[in-house]
Amino acid sequence: MLQKSSSSDKIAMASPAMSWKRRTVLLIALLAWVFVSFAMAQVVIVALIWLLKLIHVPFGAIDPTVLETAIAALIYIVTLGLVIGLPWLLKKRKTTLNDVGLDRLPTWTDVLMAPAGLVIYFVLSASLTFLATSFLPWFNASQPQDTGFSQLNFGYEYFLAFITLVVIAPVAEETIFRGYLLGKLRKFVPVWVAILATSVLFGAVHGAWNLAIDTFALSVVMSLLRQNTGSLWASILLHMTKNGIAFYILFINPTLLHTLGA
C-alpha cells in the first residue's frame, strides 16, 4: 500500500482549469472518506468483539488495559487499511511514503522544530480556549478527557497505556491526518484551506468541545511543521511530546491538575 518514492515532497497542485466547484467536491469527499473510515474501523472492531463474545471468548479474563491497547491498535490499523488500502485495491490509487511524508529518517531539524511547535501550540490553544470561554456561555473548558484507560495499577499497565497514547496514537493519527489527508488536500486547494479543513476534522473526531479546540490548535501547528519541513517527523515528535505531557499529568502526577487550576 505504502511505497517508497524518490521524488521530493513538493506540492503537485491540480490543473488551474479545475473549477472551484470540483475542488470543493473533492475537499468534502476526502474529509468524509477519512471520517467514515475512522468510524467504520470502530464499528468493525466492535462487531468483531461482539462475534467473539458469541462464541464465548472470555473477555472478562483479559486485563482491561491489555484489551484497550489491543482495541486501539486494531482500530488504527483498520483505519489505515481503509483510508490508504481500499483506494489502492479498488482504484489502483497508490499512496507512497513520499505522499505521507515518511520517505526519509528524522533529522535534527525535525527534532528541534518539535519543541518550538509545542510553545506555539500552547499559546494558540490557550488563546482559542480563552475566546471560547469568553463568548460561548455553554463552553466547559474543564470537561474531562476519556483516554480509555480508567484504572492503572501495575507497571505493565502503565507501559501499555504509554505505548498506546504516546507512541501508537501519534504515529497513526499523523499518518492519517497530516500525512494522507493534508498531503492529498493541498494538491488541489490552497495550503491554508487544507490545513484548516484537516484541523477541523481532527478536532471533530476527538469529541468534547474543549478537546476539539485544543486538538484543532495542535493540528494547525503540526500541519505547519509538515508543510515547512517537507516531512511528517516533526509533527509526530510534537504529537508524542504533547501526549507524553498529558500522560504524565493524567496518570503519573494527577495532583498537578489542581496546581494548574484545571
Q: Which residues of 41-69 are buried (b: 16+ CB within 10 A; e: fewer)?
A: beebbeeeeeeeeeeeeeeeeeeebeebb
The reported pLDDT for the residue numbered 137 is 87
Domain with 113, as residue range(s), is 20-143+151-259
**What one-character DSSP code corresponds to residue 254?**
T
Instruction: Give the number of C-alpha atoms closer than 13 A to the C-alpha of residue 256, restricted to the C-beta side.
Output: 10
- Could you give the 3-state DSSP secondary structure of residue 95? strand
Number of domains forming the structure of the chain: 1
Could you tell me if residue 192 is inside a domain?
A: yes
- Quick count: other Cβ atoms within 10 Å of Cβ 100? 26
d(Cα 147, Cα 71) in Å, to the nearest integer? 13
147, 188, 250 from 19: Cα distances, Å = 42, 10, 48
Could you tell me if residue 244 is inside a domain?
A: yes
Instruction: Give the number of C-alpha atoms closer than 13 A to the C-alpha of residue 217, restricted to the C-beta side.
Output: 22
Could you tell me if residue 3 is inside a domain?
A: no
Could you tell me if residue 5 is inside a domain?
A: no
Number of residues written out for the chain: 262
Kindly report the pTM of this predicted structure. 0.89
Could you tell me if residue 208 is inside a domain?
A: yes
Could you tell me if residue 10 is inside a domain?
A: no
Could you tell me if residue 12 is inside a domain?
A: no
d(Cα 153, Cα 161) in Å, to the nearest integer? 11
Could you tell me if residue 106 is inside a domain?
A: yes
The reported pLDDT for the residue numbered 13 is 46
Grouped pLDDT means (10 residues each) for the chain, 262 residues: 47 61 93 96 94 89 90 94 89 86 95 96 96 88 76 88 95 96 94 97 89 96 96 97 93 72 52
Are the beta carbons of 262 and 142 closer than 8 angstroms? Answer: yes
The reported pLDDT for the residue numbered 260 is 55
